[in-house]
Amino acid sequence: MIHTDVIIVGGGPAGLCAAYSLVKQGVSVTLFERNSKLGGQLVKQTHKFFGSEKQYAKTRGFDIAAKLIKDLEPYSAFLTIEKNATVLGIYPDKVVTVMKNEAYFKYQCKAIIVSTGAMEKVLAFEQNDLPGIYGAGAVQTLMNVYGVYPGQSIVMVGSGNIGLIVSYQLLQAGVEVKAVIEAASSIGGYKVHASKLRRLGVPILTNTTIKKAHGVDFLTGVETIQLDESWKTIPGTEKTIQCDACCISVGLAPMHQLLSMAGVHMKYIPEFGGIVPIASDTHETSYDGLFVAGDVYGIEEASSAIVEGYLSGLYVSNKLGMKSEEINSQIADFHQQLEYLRSGPFGKKTRQGLEKIKEARNVT
Amino acid sequence: MRIKEHPILELIDKEKIHFFYNGEVMYGQVGDSIAAALHASGIKVLSKSIHLERPRGFYCAIGNCSSCHMTVDGIPNVKTCITELLPGMRVEFQSGKGVLR
Ligand SMILES: Cc1cc2nc3c(=O)[nH]c(=O)nc-3n(C[C@H](O)[C@H](O)[C@H](O)COP(=O)(O)OP(=O)(O)OC[C@H]3O[C@@H](n4cnc5c(N)ncnc54)[C@H](O)[C@@H]3O)c2cc1C
Ligand code: FES
C-alpha cells in the first residue's frame, strides 16, 4: 500500500487546478491521468476561449493547458504525477486502486478529488457502429493533437457549441463539412460560431436528424430525415449525403462510474448531462473525504472546471485541518467567480441543476 | 493522411518511427497514438466485434469506449487510441476477444 495525502483522479483543468491549490500549501498530492498527456479536453482545443480574463478568455485551449501544467512546476516536491495510469476503483477507507503499465497498485490517502471529466453521448440510428463515425472530440483529437485528417468530407450531427466549433476547425484543416444537422428547431450553440460556418457556406439544417449510415465495412454516406415539431420523423424527406466521416456531437455526460461504484449518493440531473453526485456546498460527496470538481459534477465549461478545481483543492485543505483567513478569502473570491460565470442566460441550466442538487440533499 | 498546412497548429515534421501492422512494416511519427498512426496510413478498421463480427474503428479517442481494441505485441484488447506508438511495435487486427499468447 502506497500512502499519500491527497489523490486526484484526472489531469484535466479541474484536476490540475485542484492540485495547484493543495501543493501550494505543502500538501502532498498524487495525480493520476490515464492518458499519456495532461490537460484533459483542453489539449485538443485550438480555439480561443470565451469567458472573463481570470479564466484565460481569449487564450487558446491548449495554451491554457500548458499554462496550468507550468504553474505546478515550482511545487514538484509535493506533487507526484502518474500518467498512463488509470484509476480502477475507490474503496472504503480511501483506498484507491490503479493500473499502470499492466501493473496494479494500491494507494491510501486522507482525501480524494475525482475530476474525471465527461464522455461524449452517442446517438441511436441504423449502423451507428460503422467505422467512420466518431465522437466530435475524437475528430478534434485526431486533427489537433496528432495532425491527422479524420476524413475528406464530413457530416456533423449536433449544432451545440462543440459541434459548431469542431466544424470550423475541420474547415481550418481543409476538410469539407457537408452539413451540420440539428434535431431541434433552432441552433444550440452561440450565434457567432454558427455565423462563421454559414459565411463559409456550410448549411446548418435544423429539424433534421440522421436516420442511418451507409456503407459495408466503412462509412460512405449518411441518410438524413426531417422532424416535425414533436420530433417525429416525416416520411419521404430522406436525403443521402455522401461523406467519409460523420461526427456525433450530441452532448457530454459526466464520467460518474468511479463515484457510482464507490457508493456515493448520485442522481440523474438532465441539466448536468446525466448522473452526478449529490455533493455539498464544499464539493464533498456522501463518501466522507471524497470531493468532486469539473465536468464530473455537471457539464459546464473549462472556465468553471478551472475555478471548481481551485475551490475543491481549498476545501480539501480545510478538511485536512488547514484553516486561515487567506484560504477563506480565496474561497470567497472563487465563489464569486463561479457565480459570475453562471449568471448569464447560458448559465441557466447550471443554476437549475444546482437547485436540483440542493433539493436532493434535503431528501437524503 | 497528415495535415500539411494549418492556420493555428504548428505542424513540425516529427521523427519517423517504424512499426508492424499484421506483419507489414509501416511508419508513424514520434508522439502518435497507435490509432492515429494507423489512421494516417489509411487503416481505419481495427477489429471485428465479438458476436456479430461487425467492423470496428475508433470512436472516442480518449480511452472511454473500447471501440479501438487491437492486439499489440501479443496482448489483446489494447486501447490503441491512448497507447503511444513505440518503434518496432507489432500491431494486429483483432477478431473477437483476441487470444492471450
Ligand atoms: C470541442 C470542445 C470545445 C470546448 N470549448 C470550450 C470553450 O470555448 N470554453 C470553455 O470554457 N470550455 C469549452 N469546452 C469544455 C471544457 O473543455 C471542459 O468543460 C473541461 O475540459 C472540463 O474539465 P475537467 O477537468 O472537468 O475534465 P476533462 O478535461 O475531461 O479531464 C478529465 C481527465 O480525467 C482523466 N480520467 C478520466 N477517468 C480517469 C481514470 N479513471 N483514471 C485516470 N484518469 C482519468 C481523463 O483522461 C481526462 O484527462 C469545450 C469542450 C469540448 C469537447
Ligand atoms: S476509441 Fe474509445 S477507447 Fe479508444
Looking up cell 490503441 gives: B80
Which pLDDT does position A221 carry in this prediction? 98
Tens of pLDDT, residue by residue over A55-66, are 677 788 888 999
> Hey, of A142, A154, A169, which one would you mutate to test binding to chain B, going by the most B CBs within 10 A of its CB?
A142
Q: Do B39 and A130 touch (CB under 8 A)?
A: no
Tens of pLDDT, residue by residue over A71-81, are 999 999 999 99
- Quote the minimal CA–CA distance from B98 to chain A in Å: 17
Which pLDDT does position A50 carry in this prediction? 65
Q: Distance between CA atoms of A86 and A342, rounded to whole angstroms?
A: 32
Using the predicted structure, report yes or no on whether residue B99 has a pLDDT greater than 80.
Answer: no
Residues of B in contact with A172 (CB under 8 A): 6-8
Residues whose CB falls within 8 Å of the CB of residue A257, separated by 6 or more in sequence, listed in order: A116
3-state secondary structure of A343: coil
* Residue-by-residue pLDDT tens, chain A, 364 positions: 999 999 999 999 999 999 999 999 999 999 999 988 899 998 888 777 766 666 677 788 888 999 999 999 999 999 999 999 999 999 999 999 999 988 999 999 999 999 999 999 999 999 999 999 999 999 999 998 899 999 999 999 999 999 999 999 999 999 999 999 999 999 999 899 999 999 999 999 999 999 999 999 999 999 999 999 899 999 999 999 999 999 999 999 999 999 999 999 999 999 999 999 999 999 999 999 999 999 999 999 899 999 999 999 999 999 999 999 999 999 999 999 999 999 988 789 999 999 999 999 988 6
Interface residue ranges in chain B relative to chain A, Cβ cutoff 8 Å = 1-3, 5-9, 11, 31-33, 36, 39-40, 44-46, 49, 54-65, 75, 81-82, 84
Determine if ligand 1 sits within 6 Å of the CB of residue A273.
no
Q: Distance between CA atoms of B33 and A127, rounded to whole angstroms?
A: 26
Residues whose CB falls within 8 Å of the CB of residue A271, separated by 6 or more in sequence, listed in order: A298, A349, A350, A352, A353, A356
State phi, psi for B74 to the nearest 5 degrees. 85, -10
Using the predicted structure, report yes or no on whether residue B98 has a pLDDT greater than 90.
Answer: no
Domains and CATH numbers, chain A: 2-119+252-363 (3.50.50.60), 122-248 (3.50.50.60)
What pTM was estimated for this model as a whole?
0.91
**Complex-level ipTM beyond the 0.85 threshold:** yes
CA distances from A169 to A48, A305, A347, B6 (A): 12, 23, 25, 10
**How many residues make up chain B in this entry?**
101
Q: Which of B87, B83, B67, B1 is nearest to B34 (CA)?
A: B83
